Structure 1
Amino acid sequence: MHLFKGNVGSGVFAMGYGFKNAGIMIGPWVIIVLGIICTHCMHVLLSCAKRASRITGAEVRPDFAETVQLCFETGTIAMKRAATYMRKIVNLFLCITQLGFCCVYFVFIADNLKQVLDYYGLIIDVHFHMAILLLPILLSCLIRNLKFLAPLSTVANVFMVIGISITVYYNTQNLPAISERKYVAELHQLPLFFGTALFAFEGIGLVLPLQNEMKRPDEFKKPLGVLNVGMSVVTVIYMMMGLLSYLKYGEDVMGSVTLNLPETDKLAQSVKIMISLAILLTYALQFYIPVDVIWPNVIKTFGPFNHPVLMEYTFRIFLVLVTFVLAEAIPYLGLFISLVGAVSSTTLALLFPPIIEIVLHYNISELTAWIIIKDGVIILVGLLGCVTGTYESLHSIVNQFVAEGS
């Protein structure tokens, strides 16, 4: 369930928009290939963590950033010197990713609530909806103990499953012929699909903590273990949601398919409210990670403080305001999702795992041609997707602003 929640968030509702940028023939195959590559990279991360911990004699179970550091510490003096910096780089991208999710959440919730309230005559600009959301989000982010966020996460899970189920129900009604949809999208659109898909596969930072908390950690990565089964289910959900959403709404599919549901239908309105609440309750959980990474460094740099709790609350409020301002600045949900996926999700999911596998095996003199070729291909795919996806997302965002300005 944690693996499901860690990978299935607002990105699942953007898959229809992603398929619009890929086409009906390309989209499913790319999702399957990316699912296999991302799952393999998760296995690589788990194996490197276990091996590097044993070699370096680390007594604690490492997280993602610590695993990268340990892999570099198995090498030469130069690599050992770079180890700390590599850990900081991973933490930086983790923070960018999580805060990017938080920005997307602001836009996602505001867009869905606006549709519901517009129907009932309360018509206000989407930017004001974001401003209204700021207060409840701020209050939820002032919860400092992860234990107290657990009930919120449980409620969010229930809302999310119900919302996905009802959305699939709507997407299967009165489907047009497949021939009415694009089989293959234009070449320049594919990077946007890549970014959207990578945004959806957002759970690589979760795999080490999950394995560490299991009673039988070795069960996690077995052929029919939690990781493979869980990621297979997640991949099927993405493929099904993307295919049905695009098939149903075609070129009119929006950044979140919930925005395509009938505005006058009470059941559809309830889905938009439930999903919005689920994402609202998830914000604080996603926000917890960057705070957990950045705040200790703030204390180390500027502390100790006379009133540490007050200063932490101030820092949390500041960080929420940063995500709010960014969301207000780029209110284009589909393009925002693609940008976050291309920049940060790609780096974490497709670049760091193969890099540390090459580094570790090189340091212990076990680097083979197969590892070089395999990881080289994954790195190449990651770099290509990152560069082209970032460029195309920024280009499309600028074009949107220019179009609105004119």
Structure 2
Amino acid sequence: MMKSLRKILSLRSNYCIKQRSEHGENSVALPVQLPNCNDCDHIVVEDRKNSTTTEGAHVEPKHDANADSSFVHAVINMVGMLIGLGQLSTPYAVEKGGWASALLLIGLGVICAYTSYILGKCLEKNPTLTSYVDIGNQAFGTKGRYLVATFIYMEIFMALVSYTISLHDNLITVFIGTHLKMKFVTLTTPQILTLVAILIALPSLWIRDMSSISFLSTGGIVMSLLIFVCVAATAIFGGGEGSNNHSIPVFKLHNIPSISGIYVFGLGGHIVFPDLYKSMKDPSKFTKVSIVSFTIVTAVYTSMGFMGAKMYGNDVQSQITLSLPPNKIITKIALWATVLTPMTKYALEFAPFAIHLEHALPNSLNARTKLVIRGCVASVLLLIILALALSVPYFEHVLSLTGSLVSVAICLVFPSIFYLKIFWGKITRFLLVLNISLVIFGFLLAGMGTISSTKLIWQTFISHHST
């Protein structure tokens, strides 16, 4: 798994170096993706000129010698990219939406598998495309490129806020009974603990070589799998006091808009799929990779959702780790895995912005000055994220807002629109209707979910500060 992840990173790095040598210093910095685990949605800066090809131009497909990821490696990477924060909140979503809402989760899994397939078709049609942003550029030119880049950066930022909230919530449980105070600063113990954790992670933002921090990607995957194993073991051997075989409501229609954002967020990973496609030894198997990967991830989420909802019923927390029996060693393992997961994310998530910033700086600055500037800016942004997470520590609502406002566009709407634009006039009526329906469905899901989650954040914020 580590080997295949490093190969993808190496492939992207080699391609960027090649582009710099071909286009020289006057090339334009455009954002593209870097593969990583789920909620990690990444873009790096690729020095290249506008790659939009002329309509109807014939492009000879080229196979990169470094693209040697096998079918199994590709499945492992895609599953690792997808599984993340979503599994923590799926039990909460299943309980709040009713067991029938799991059908929505499964349906969204099928839709996301399809949209990953059509992204592969776009890449197949024009082999010069190498990233999600490139596809947007091919479909709608410069405006499409920057619109997509904006949404990707928004998702990165909001996902990091969610990770920081998760860090804050689980640290409370890990260090329960601990009391800390700081002179001249009115912070609670959980806030101080979160601040300390952020300060520990801060130096990783100053690392310039992506290969040096690529191991963090594998660390995030291992932590996610460890959490699932701990929850499954708890369900099998007993969930502790207060757990039982609770009945799950059939369906709660009024909660569907908010939990749909949680479901979509958990299935988001599309911005790194083009990199995964390009890294495959046989890209024609990308469709099978998507089907197998989304089947595995949807099965994991659904089983996690039912296990947590059945164990704790209406008392299930927005993060399943917070519902586990506090005194068991397996709970401590799950909690520490949840705490360490955000620590593996910050450097990888910030790398795209940091690299983009460095390329935007004047060439007259030396490498050390650029490193200091990008490190300082990234550190300030992380502290801003910390402030937001501590100000609005409502994990499930922020996660839902991220899924509804941003992930729906990246996973459902954009791929269908790109496919329609690039293949316009060359697809069957069925596919035309299907993709238009997905765009409409995506807009409805995004609109209702954004309104619902925003309202819940506001109501919770007012209620919290009025008591």
TM-score (norm 2): 0.77
Per-residue CA deviation, residues 342-401 of structure 1 (Å, 9 max, x unaligned), is 111111001101111111122xx3243212210121111111111111111111111111
For residues 385 and 272 of structure 1, what CA distance do their matches in structure 2 show?
Answer: 32
Matched with 2:381 is: 319
Query: In 1, are the aligned partners of 2:354 and 2:375 still within 8 Å (CA)?
Result: no
For 1:160, the aligned partner's letter is S
Counterpart-to-counterpart distance in 2, 1:110 and 1:287: 19
Residues 1:195 and 2:293 are matched in the alignment: no
Q: Deviations over 1:251-301 (max 9, x none)?
A: 211121001111222321221012211331133222323434x426743xx
Q: Is the 8 A contact 1:141 1:287 kept in 2?
A: yes
How many pairs are equivalent? 379
| Aligned partners of 1:21 and 1:192 also within 8 Å | no
Indicate the residue corresponding to 1:96 in structure 2.
154
* One-letter amino acid of the structure 2 residue matched with residue 23 of structure 1: G
Letter in 2 for 1:166: C
Q: Residues 160-199 of structure 1 correspond to what in structure 2 (within 5 A)?
A: 160-172=224-236, 173=238, 176-177=244-245, 180-185=247-252, 187-199=253-265
Deviation at 1:177, TM superposition (A): 4.3
For 2:359 and 2:439, the matched residues in 1 are separated by 30
Q: Distance in 2 between matches of 1:298 and 1:285?
A: 19
Counterpart in the other structure of 1:48: 122
1:63 is matched by which residue type in structure 2?
A: S
Partner in structure 1 of residue 66 of structure 2 = none
Aligned partner of 2:190 among 85, 110, 126: 126
Q: Residues of 1 paired with 2:330 and 2:352: CA distance?
A: 34
The equivalent of 1:76 in structure 2 is none
Once the two structures are superposed, residues 225-247 of structure 1 have per-residue CA deviations (whole angstroms, 9 ceiling, x without a partner) of: 32211111011001111111112
* Range with greater deviation from structure 2 (167-176 or 328-337): 167-176
Counterparts of 1:143 and 1:167 in 2: how far apart (Å)? Answer: 34
- Offset of 1:121 from its aligned partner? 6.2
Q: Deviation at 1:220?
A: 2.1
The answer to whether the Cα contact below 8 Å between 2:131 and 2:274 also exists between their aligned partners in 1 is yes
CA distance in 1, matches of 2:358, 2:111: 33
Residues 216 and 242 of structure 1, relative CA distance in 2, 3 Å threshold: same
Counterpart of 2:335 (choices 272, 277, 283) is: 272
Deviations 1:36-55 (A, max 9, x none): 0001001111111221x25x
1:172-198 CA deviation, whole Å, 9 max, x = no partner?
4367445x321111x221111100001
AA aligned to 1:324 is: L
SS in 1 for 2:198: helix
Structure having the higher helix fraction is 1
Query: Partner of 2:137 in structure 1?
Result: 69
In the TM superposition, residue 304 of structure 1 has moved relative to its aligned partner by: 5.0
Unpaired stretches in structure 1, ≥5 consecutive residues = 73-82
TM-score where L is the length of structure 1: 0.88
Q: Deviations over 1:154-207 (max 9, x none)?
A: 2332232222101122134367445x321111x221111100001101211121
For the structure 1 residues 177 and 258, does the alpha-carbon distance in structure 2 shift closer, same or farther, using more than 3 Å as the test?
closer
CA distance in 2, matches of 1:289, 1:201: 21
Deviations 1:301-339 (A, max 9, x none): x66535222222122222222322221221111111111
- Cα deviation code 1:22-62 (max 9, x no counterpart): 101x22211110000001001111111221x25xxx3xx42
Q: Does 1:210 align with 2:255?
A: no
* Equivalent-residue separation in structure 2 for 1:241 and 1:270 (angstroms): 17
CA distance in 2, matches of 1:64, 1:375: 18
Residues in 1 aligned to 2:394 and 2:386: alpha-carbon distance in whole angstroms: 14
In the other structure, the counterpart of 1:147 is 211
User: C-alpha separation between the residues in 1 aligned to 2:177 and 2:333?
Assistant: 13
Letter in 2 for 1:236: A
Q: Which runs of 5+ in 2 are unaligned?
A: 1-75, 182-187
Given that residues 305 and 311 in structure 1 are in contact (C-alpha distance below 8 angstroms), is that contact kept between their aligned partners in structure 2? no
Contact 2:180 2:192 in 1 (8 A): no
Larger relative contact order (Cα-Cα within 8 Å, sequence gap ≥ 6): 1
